[in-house]
Each structure stands twice: as C-alpha cells, then as structure tokens.
Structure 1
Amino acid sequence: MSATTENTAPSPSPKPASKRASKHPVDEVLPAPKLAIYGFQHVLAFYAGAVIVPILLASAIGLNTQQLIHLINADLFTCGIASIIQSVGFWKVGVRLPLLQGVTFTAVSPMIAIGLAAGGGTDGLLVIYGAVIVAGLFTFFIAPYFSKLIRFFPPVVTGSVISIIGLALLPVAAADAAGGAGPDLDPSSGKNLAYALGTLFLIVAIQRVFKGFMATVAVLVGLVVGTLVAWVLGDAHFDSVGDSSWLGVTTPFFFGWPKFSIAAIISMIVVMLITAVETTGDVFATGEIVEKRVGREDIARALRADGLATTIGGVLNSFPYTCFAENVGLVRLTRVKSRYVVAAAGAIMIVIGLIPKAGAIVAGIPHPVLGGAALAMFATVAVVGFQTLSRVDFHDHRNVVIVATSVGLAMYVTAQPDVAKAVPDWAQIILGSGITLGSITAIVLNFLFHHVGRSRGPAVAGAPGAGLVRLAEVNDMSREQFVETFGSLFQGSQWVVERAYDSRPFTDTIDLRRAFQEALFSATEEEQKQLIDTYPTLGADSVAQGEEGEDSLKDQSALGLTRLDNAQHDELAELTSQYRDRFGFPLVLCVRDRDSFDEMLRTGWDRLNNSPTQEHAAALVEIAKIAGYRFDDLVADANPILSARSRFLEGS
C-alpha cells in the first residue's frame, strides 16, 4: 500500500473505537439472576469453613449455645461485608478480584490460648476482640510496606504457596467426605463414600457433558442434588430450621467493651503477618486464574481489605479475615471470573447472617456431600500452583530444593498435626498449620538461596544449571556467538543484534540493553518496516500452536491471547485486520506491558486514529518493549525479581 493510499484512507472515529473495547471478565457485571445463582454457589462452598471457627472457639473457651449462635450470625454477617470490600473495593482498599473473605484458621489456636489465659467465657472473648481490633489496624497500615516485599515472591515462592494451600486443604475435604471431623467421622462408611463420590462424579459429568451456564453451576447442582438425595434417604436433616428465629441482628460490642492485653495483641499481630503471606498467595493464584497481572499495589489493596475487615470483625463480634482458598478453587473450576459474583455472595451472607433460619437451611447440607465438592475445589487450587511452578527453572537445583522442602514440611505438619505439641506454645502458631509452615519455608529459602551471598560476577544470559554467561564472556564472544545468544530478542531478523555487537565492550547489563535499542532506532526506515512485518498477528492460531516461536508464544500468552474465547478472538481479529488494512503492517503491541485484555484492545483501537508515520514509530517502541521483556528473561540482573542478587554480583 502506498503512502498516498494510506494517508487518504478513512480513519474510524474515536468514539466507536472506544466502544469496541470490552471489559475484562473480572469487571463484568452479570445479569441479576446469574449473579444470584453464582453467588449462592460460592456461599454453599464457603459455609462450612465459615462457621467452623466460631464453633471451635466457643467449645474451647466455654461459651453457651446462645452465645455460639450469635457468633455464627456475626461471622456470616461480617464475612459478607468483608467480601464486598475485597471484591468491589473503594479508595485503596480491596483488590477488586473475585476473592471471598472468611475467618482465617491460622487464628484458631492463638485465639483459644488468649481466651483461656483471660479466664475463658465472655471475659476471654473480650480480650480476643481487643487483640483482633489492634491487629486489624496494624495490618491496614502495614499493607503498603509489606507489599514492597513482592520481589521476594517470584514464581518459585508463589507456586509453592498456592500448591501448598490446595494440598493442605485436601485432608479437610477428605474428612468432610468421611462424615465430618469429630465423632461423625467414619471412613469405613459406604454411605459416606457414596455421597461424596456421587457428588464429585455429578460435578465432573456436568462439566463434561454441558457447556455454558450449566457447566458454571456444576458445583451448585452437585451440592443441591446430593443434599436432596440424602434428604430423601433420611440422611439430611433440617430440624434446626424450625427452632431458629427469623431475625438475628448482631450489634457492635455485643459481649461488652473489648479489653487490651499486650501479649494477646502481639500474638494476633503475628497471626496477621502469617495471614498476609497466605493472602498474597491467594491473590497471585486468583490473578493467574482470571489472567490479570498482580502488582505491588494490588497486594497492598488486598491486605488493607484484610486489615479493615479484621477491625470490623472485632467490633461486630467476629474474628480475623483473609481470602478463602476454597473459593479460589471454585473460580478456577467454574471459570466465572466476575468479581461482582463474589459481591453477590457477600450480600447473600449478610442476609443469612440476619436470618438464622436461612443459615440453618444451608447448614443442613450433609458433610459427605460437601466433602465431595470440596475435593474438586481444593485440588483445583493445587493445580493453579502447579501451573505457576511450570514457569520455574528447575534446571537450577536451588529451586528444586525450595519447592521440595516447603511442600515436604507442609505435608508433614498436615499429615501429623500433633507434631506441634513437640514445640513450645509460641512456636505452635507456625507448626500448627501446614500452610503457614510451608509458606514461611518457601519465603525464607528463596531469600537464602537467591538473595544472600556472592557469585562469580554478573550473569548476563543463559539458565542457571544450564550454563550461565558472564559479562566478560559476552565481551569476548565472536559475532556468531553473540547472535546465537541474543538473537531471540527480536522477531525474525537478526541485524539488530549484529549491529549491537559492534558496541562492545559493554560496561554492564544496562549498557548491553542500550546497545540493542540504539541499533533498532538508528536503522533505516525500510529496515525497520521489514522488522515490523516479521511480528505475528496478535491472537493468531500460529502463535498458539508454537509456529511463530517460543518467545512469541510466551509474549502473547501473558494476557491469555493463546486461549481466547470466540467473542474475544473475533474482536481481536477485527482490530488487527482493520489495522493492517490501514497501515500495511501488523499491529505490534507489547502484551506483557498491558494489565488486561480490554486495555490492550482500547490501545489498539485508539492507535487506528494515528498517522502512518506515528504508527511506524509506535511499532518500534513496542518492539523495543518486547525485546526488553525478552532481555529480562535472559539477563540475570535486568530486573530485581529475576535476579535479586544483582546488588551483590556487580561487586564481585
């Protein structure tokens, strides 16, 4: 296409272009009936885990039945508020992802210890609430500082933590499937096995046979059908519905004004710090599932929501809050990514918290039925962790050690929970939970292996364990060796890398990066256009099938362009087609530099309004960004996450 033709081609108006960009699935507001159904599915999956903490606490510190009922109502009511805060968000509070909030199990043992130390009963409860309020405020204000530690959470850590969360929860699901923890536990019961496996089989069958809406409510259908079958056979009982009142309102400080103990506060702050690690893992897991990049500010927003919800919990007679991994697994299983579904679940929980009869109906779901569904959901969380670990370089034996040790210790404590009794009381908060011990182990080992110590000089290319290339070696390379090492930074043509070679010697990796940029932008216009033409179409099948090379596959899979649904694929195809028709070369966008699919679309449609000269320059800038990310993949100290050792290496 000639320049004259390009300049006279009609430009689409900005207004229609902006309307074309679709919302990210996370921000999509579904029709009210779907919100209600999907939200109720989250509530059913969540309910048993939500009420177990007040039940355990009330039994341990000697509260009566009426006090327990009030705790359960208050817990559900506050869970609903916390979930809306986290999913909808306001100001800098709430991560705005489909994350449902619930009381953290990590707090159970410390709260029981605090309550008993204060004399048990309501006296102990008031000291617990004082500690919860202060710990919540501490978490809220420490959130932005904790989020700065995100560089200590590379995939080897987040993948380990997410996998541990899923694996450590499976015994809970197994206990439910066998009749429920406590006196009802009966692994030898054929009836329990039939209910659990029947529910699981029904969920799997629905997802295999059906598509669309029916597949997304598979868990809900499994729970409802399993409960109905159990009721018909006389194994599901709803007697407590008639005994429950219609209205039960929780009021602030129902049990009295909170009391504050320094020891209790310190203990609860430690709980919240550990919970922050779990929340970080859940946020990363959800980000992976919904294909939305998680950054430092996202972690800060999530932790602020945890802190605020925990403070509200202390006021409204509830407990510390965190993201519930159970529902992370449900998001992955159903593939319904809208955060407003979780907000709807929050609204339903508020209603249930105000209407004890509604809670009694939900509580009637038999444990084996709930366990069968939970087996699928918890295992799905572990699969998300496996997916994250697939990006880890296991040629580096250090990463093998980190994952193996953290998972091994987590499973040790999960399988043998009584090992916590072998350590002093203050250490039981760590050894009392496989999730806690495994997460801390992964973080500490990653710090020791990758952030501490000195090496033989800055590594600038290659994979650990497969042969690192040092800066001095780069300066000594022949042109052919240099091109072979760095040729993948640019698509197709290698003249950019060849010209960068002429800038040797390089003083550091920044100097090396600049050499590639200089070679790109100093080329002739014709050379630049030929380079632009080598980049594949966004969302092309050839990319997904690996025909355009591993680097293009990695670039475009960052926002899920290799696995788009039909609507997204058609919309992107229309954009790229119009762009090529207008400018005569493919739309080049650095996918890894975008936060969401809809943002990428908006950028593309907006660029249709530019002149050909401006688009030529914009394409080069995007190519430089793509090369920058590929450079980060290769170069050890190109960014602080890929090589936290950079501060030490340069001085070697």
Structure 2
Amino acid sequence: MFGKSAKNSPPAEPKHPVDEVLPVGKMTIYGAQHLLTFYAGAAIVPLLVAGALGMSQQNLAFLVNANLFTCGIATLIQAIGFWKIGVRLPVVQGTTFVAVSPMIAIGLAEGGSVPGLLEIYGAVIVAGVFTFVIAPFFAKIVKFFPPIVTGTVITGIGLVLLPVAAMEAGGGNPEDPRFGSIPNLALAATTLVLILALYRFFRGFVATIAVLIGLAIGTGIAALAGKADFSSVAGSSWVGVITPFHFGLPTFGGAAIASMIIVMIITCVEMTGDTLAVGEIVRKPVGPDGIARAIRSGGLSTTIGGVLNSFPYTSFSANSGLIRLTRVRSRFVVATAGVMMMIVGMVPKTGAVVATIPEPVLGGASLVLFGVVAVVGIQILRRADLTNERNVIILATSLGFALIPVGFPEFYSFLPEALQMIFASGITMAALSAILLNVLFNEIGGKRKTEKAAAPPAPVDVDTVNAMSDAEFAERIGSVFQGGEWIAQEAASQRPFDGAYALRRALHTTLFAADQQRQLELIRCYPDLAGAALAEHQLGRESLRDQCTAGLHQLPPDENERLTEITDAYRETFGFPLVICVRGLSASEVVDIAESRLHNPPEQERATALVEIAKIANARLNDIVREREPESAEASKAAKASIDG
C-alpha cells in the first residue's frame, strides 16, 4: 500500500504491463494479429497514389513493399524509442490517409509517374524535418486536451472509421456492381460472428487472438467459396531489397513542401489524439513529454519514409482497438509486429499471402475494431461533466463536423484545395473543433468565472442561511452536493432552522427520501477519485479540495495508476463512480476502502454511496455554515445516527 514501505528497502517494483516482455511464442502470435489488422490500411495508400500517378505494376509492387518495410521501422521507433524519440507505448505507425489527396495533387502537377513521385518525396522529407522540430512546441497544447476534448476526438475517430469498415465489408469498391452482394456480406458477417463467438465462449489466450482466428478462418471460407485468389503468391519472389531513393533523387518544390507541412500539422493533431487514446487504453497516462516524443517519432519516420520511397506517418487506430479488445498491453508485441512488417516488406511472397485476405473478411473484423475505438472515446467522455451545457455543445458540434464528410464526401468541394485538405477529413475537423471550442468555452469563456469560484466563500451563521432567498440558498447550500441543488431546493421549504444540525437533518432527509432513480443520478454526478480528472484539473472546487486533503494529488505515477484501475473497475462493475468521503483519510486508507467495496453487491454499494455523499455534504457544510452555538450531545448522536444508518 501507499507510503508503508518507504522506510524499508522494497523489492524491485514490478514492470508496467506496457514494458512486459512476453514469451516468444505469444509475442509472435500477438504480433501477427497486429500485422494482419494493419496490413490493408498500410497497402491502400501506395495503391491509391500509384494508381492516380499512372505507375506501372512493377513500381506499384515495389511501393507496397517499401511502404510496409518503412512502417515496420516507424513502429519500432515509436514502440521501442531512443533518446527523446518514440513514446514507448504499443503504438502502430502507418501512412496517413490525410496525405493521399495532397500527394496526388503534387504528383499530377509534375506530370505524374516517377517525376511526380520524386516531387512528393522531396516534400515528405522536408515536412518530416519540420514535424520533428516543432514537436516540443506542439506538445504544449496537451493542456487543451481535457476529457471533453480527448473523448470527443477519439469517439469521432471511431465513428469516422466505421464507414471504412462497412466499405470493406461490402467489397471495398462502391462503384463495383458486386458491392454489397450477398456473398460479400456473408463473408463479412461470418468473420464478425466468429470473432464475437470466440469472445463469448472462450477466455484467456484464445480470446486474445480472436481477431487473428477470425481472419484466418474467414479467409479459408473465402478460398473454399472461390473468393480468395492465391495465384499471385506463386508468382512472387522470395527476396526483395528496399533501396533508398529507388526512383532517383527527390526534387523540392515550394508549393509541394507547403502543402505537405499543412498535412503534417493536421497529422500531429491526429497523432496526439491517438497517442492519448493508447495511453488511456493501457492505463499509462501520456503527458506533454510523451506527446513530444510521439510527434518526434512521427517526424523522423516521415523523413525516413521519403528516403525509403514511402509516405508520411501517423498512428493506426484499428490497432488501438485491438489492444483494447485483447488487453495485451506490451509495447514489445507491437515491436514484434514492426519486425514482421519489415520481413514481409523484404519478402514479397509473404506479403502476397497476407494480401489474399479478402476485403469483406477485413471489413467484418474492422467493424469490431473501429467500434472499440469509439467506445474508448465514450469511456473517456464519462469523466467529462456532461451536465455542463458548454461541454455538451463542444461534443455535439465536433461530432457533427466529424460526420459531415462521411455522409457527404463532396460537401466541401467548392472550397479552395488547401481548405478542402482540412475540412474533408472528419477526424481533423473533430479534433480542431473540440480543441477550439474548449478554448473558447472553458478556457477563455469560463476562466474568469472559475477563478472567481476558486476562493471559498466565508462561513455564515444559520440566521444568514435562513434569510437567504430560495435561489441563493439552492446555490450556496446545494454546493455541498455534486449536482444536488434539488436537495437544497426541497430543504429550503423547511426554514427557519434553529441550528446547523437542523439544516443537516433537512438535507439528509431529502437525500434518503428521494426515489432510487434520482439517487442514482446524483451518485453518477460525482467525479472519479484521482486519475485524469484530478490531473487535468477537471474537478469542481469542492471535489478538488476534498481529494487534495487526502493527498490524492501527490500520488506517484504507479500508485495513481493503481487507484485509477480500481476506480475504473468499480465504474464498470456498478455503472457509477466510486464515492468515498476522503477527508481525514490517507491515500492508503482510500485504496483499502476502494478495494474492499469492489466486491460488494450493487444494492449495498448504492446505499453505501448515499451514506458517503451525506458524509461529504457534512464536511462541506462545515466549511460554509458555522454553528450558532455548540450542539448538545443528543444532537451530535442524532446527527451521527442519521448518517450511519
């Protein structure tokens, strides 16, 4: 427990699951699952760019292999890291879709084919260096990513990607007459059902590789039905070499470089959201330094990509969803996947085998993976105060912007090309909207009110309380509850009170006499103990003061992580936050209580939460209402009895 072993010489602290090195067999299988989840997305960018520039089939094959090889390098840099480069989390790196349209425009402006590709690579190299340099400055915006922003962005990422999964499930090409055909939908549905069945009826290792098994069986069924073509495997060579500047030395155009720098700024926003999401999934919070290291890695990988005939890099959300599903948090698993990417990139025959997975099979798996990304965002949003109308507006507007390009891809077609690059990306619009609206509503618009509220009001006597208007009473006395102004409003009708005890009794009576639904809504208004809400200063003044008195704001990272795991597990089990009156308790006592309550029946926990709310209200009431005269012993016993049952 916290603080109890400081005087002794404790054994070496156990590794965080992120830093755990698993047995070789498991790492290989888990890494292969990441590779298969990632492969289609990694291959599609070079396919789109090469097709638009009119590249030959031979050059196209080389681009796919070079891209996969460089993705492996980028993933290793991000997951393993060195110096101040790489976030050292299980983050899979791949080429960003944001860059596709600008790269095609740059290439076609140079006449397409190889000359167009060389102009793209020059811009990619410079934009990568630019990203590397701005990383520490960009990381400073992390303070503008409270739960309402990160939750909105990550939810938006999942929602925007779900139509991509649907497109794959239909066959991959909406213009194809067979798109959405019964065979395609049957393959996607079979894969999806297989994955769900494995999660439902199996535990342990089998459940963690459910996606891999689903993809393998789905491909096997497709082969039996004649929907998987393995002919390209026989014609592929065993060894391929990725050489720098394979197509010649890059050219550097000012307009192309400017366009690619804009792409990388947008990608930094996307990468920040994805990195925060992975940190949330693996329960290893990412601060400004971690964001800076992640962005440096993306910049370095992008420059390497330009040298090794690849494209700009970002993190892949589908693999984040896979981590959430499997609960395998080791970054070395992702590093293993990176090594596999490099091997597949140098062995065209291996890549050809992976490429045989039909798109409907990938689509069936992606529906789960992308949906999980959205769920992670929703879980983060639970920590945001959605009773605050400003936060509701931020969420609603940002998700609206995210889904406009999904529903109407040509919606912004009349805008200048530079603006289309930004507006046509639902993920980018969700991120920019959430960040800017949060600054406008909660930083600039709400800062003055927050600072004014930070100073606690001077205590008043009961006579002053009796003289308050109903509105003032509800606001001042209602602050002893979290979202419980209605309790004060009902108690106000019982005035005048002859002392603080009578006031407390009126509040307790109203609290315990309310119907169960209203009581449950009240419990859900209370914030989590410690964790991100405390670290990001998203607590109200009273909650912040309560948690700081117990020292919860000074927990070491590992101890804070443990308390966060307990509170997350509690919320998942009971559907409401863990409520404890922490005043007068030490951090270790808080954790002991939390662990002991985790296994109680739901009915008992609802009752216990109400008792704790009453205790919290008593403590806060003592801060704002002073006694007119000492209470009698009988009154003190009655007050204690009203709380303890």
3-state SS of paired residue (2:314): strand
The aligned residue for residue 124 of structure 2 is: 132
The question of 1:268 aligning with 2:260 is answered yes
CA distance in 1, matches of 2:524, 2:400: 33
The aligned residue for residue 234 of structure 2 is: 242
The aligned residue for residue 557 of structure 2 is: 595
2:218 corresponds, among 202, 205, 226, to 226
The aligned residue for residue 198 of structure 2 is: 206
Give the counterpart letter for 1:590 in structure 2. Answer: L
The aligned residue for residue 302 of structure 1 is: 294
CA distance in 1, matches of 2:37, 2:447: 49
CA distance in 1, matches of 2:93, 2:177: 27
Cα 1:60–1:33, aligned 2, differ >3 Å: closer, same or farther?
same
CA distance in 2, matches of 1:80, 1:158: 27
Larger displacement relative to structure 2 (436-445 or 381-390): 436-445
CA distance in 2, matches of 1:390, 1:201: 29
The question of 1:554 aligning with 2:514 is answered no
The aligned residue for residue 567 of structure 1 is: none
3-state SS of paired residue (1:73): helix
The question of 1:41 aligning with 2:33 is answered yes
1:558/1:592 contact within 8 Å kept: no
The question of 1:433 aligning with 2:395 is answered no
Deviation (angstroms), 1:181: 2.2
Q: Which 5+ residue runs of structure 1 have no aligned equivalent?
A: 1-9, 461-468, 489-545, 560-587, 602-617, 625-629, 635-652
Q: 1:277-426, aligned counterparts within 5 Å?
A: 277-426=269-418
Q: 1:65-104, aligned counterparts within 5 Å?
A: 65-104=57-96
The aligned residue for residue 475 of structure 1 is: 458
Deviations 1:214-237 (A, max 9, x none): 110000000001001111221111
1:58/1:68 contact within 8 Å kept: yes
Give the counterpart letter for 2:261 in structure 1. Answer: I
1:555/1:591 contact within 8 Å kept: no
Deviation (angstroms), 1:381: 0.1
Cα 1:331–1:399, aligned 2, differ >3 Å: closer, same or farther?
same
1:591/1:600 contact within 8 Å kept: no
CA distance in 2, matches of 1:297, 1:229: 47
Cα 1:25–1:455, aligned 2, differ >3 Å: closer, same or farther?
closer
Deviations 1:345-399 (A, max 9, x none): 0000000000000000000001111100000000000000111111111222111
Q: 1:154-233, aligned counterparts within 5 Å?
A: 154-181=146-173, 183-184=175-176, 186-233=178-225
Give the counterpart letter for 2:557 in structure 1. Answer: D
Deviations 1:89-120 (A, max 9, x none): 11111111111000000000000111111221
Deviation (angstroms), 1:327: 0.6
2:66/2:308 contact within 8 Å kept: yes
1:62/1:121 contact within 8 Å kept: yes
Cα 1:14–1:598, aligned 2, differ >3 Å: closer, same or farther?
farther
Deviation (angstroms), 1:191: 1.1
Alignment RMSD, CA only? Answer: 3.1
1:23/1:598 contact within 8 Å kept: no
Cα 1:413–1:12, aligned 2, differ >3 Å: closer, same or farther?
closer
Deviations 1:213-265 (A, max 9, x none): 11100000000010011112211111001111111111111111111111111
CA distance in 2, matches of 1:478, 1:33: 70
Deviations 1:372-428 (A, max 9, x none): 000000000000011111111122211111111111111111111112322111111
Cα 1:211–1:398, aligned 2, differ >3 Å: closer, same or farther?
same
Q: Point out 4+ residue stretches in structure 1 off by more than 6 angstroms.
A: 10-13, 479-484, 549-553, 556-559, 598-601, 618-624
Deviation (angstroms), 1:18: 1.6
Deviation (angstroms), 1:553: 8.1
- TM-score under structure 2 length normalisation: 0.73
Deviation (angstroms), 1:452: 2.6
Cα 1:597–1:173, aligned 2, differ >3 Å: closer, same or farther?
farther
1:27/1:340 contact within 8 Å kept: yes
The aligned residue for residue 62 of structure 1 is: 54
CA distance in 2, matches of 1:454, 1:358: 56
Q: Which 5+ residue runs of structure 2 have no aligned equivalent?
A: 466-472, 483-519, 534-549, 564-583, 591-615, 621-645
Q: Number of residue pairs matched?
A: 505
The question of 1:18 aligning with 2:1 is answered no
Give the counterpart letter for 1:68 in structure 2. Answer: L
CA distance in 2, matches of 1:487, 1:319: 53
Deviation (angstroms), 1:453: 4.4
Cα 1:426–1:13, aligned 2, differ >3 Å: closer, same or farther?
closer
3-state SS of paired residue (1:35): helix
CA distance in 2, matches of 1:589, 1:474: 23
3-state SS of paired residue (2:412): helix
Cα 1:152–1:343, aligned 2, differ >3 Å: closer, same or farther?
same
Give the counterpart letter for 1:344 in structure 2. Answer: T
Cα 1:11–1:557, aligned 2, differ >3 Å: closer, same or farther?
closer
Give the counterpart letter for 2:457 in structure 1. Answer: V
CA distance in 1, matches of 2:42, 2:478: 56
Deviation (angstroms), 1:157: 1.1
Larger displacement relative to structure 2 (300-309 or 437-446): 437-446
- TM-score under structure 1 length normalisation: 0.72
1:555/1:592 contact within 8 Å kept: no
Identity %: 53
1:130/1:258 contact within 8 Å kept: yes
1:131/1:264 contact within 8 Å kept: yes
3-state SS of paired residue (1:322): strand
Deviations 1:128-149 (A, max 9, x none): 1111011101111100000011
3-state SS of paired residue (1:52): helix
3-state SS of paired residue (2:457): helix
3-state SS of paired residue (1:596): helix
1:173/1:375 contact within 8 Å kept: yes
Deviations 1:439-463 (A, max 9, x none): 2111122222223347765556xxx
Cα 1:553–1:157, aligned 2, differ >3 Å: closer, same or farther?
closer
CA distance in 2, matches of 1:253, 1:14: 58
Give the counterpart letter for 2:98 in structure 1. Answer: T
The aligned residue for residue 605 of structure 2 is: none
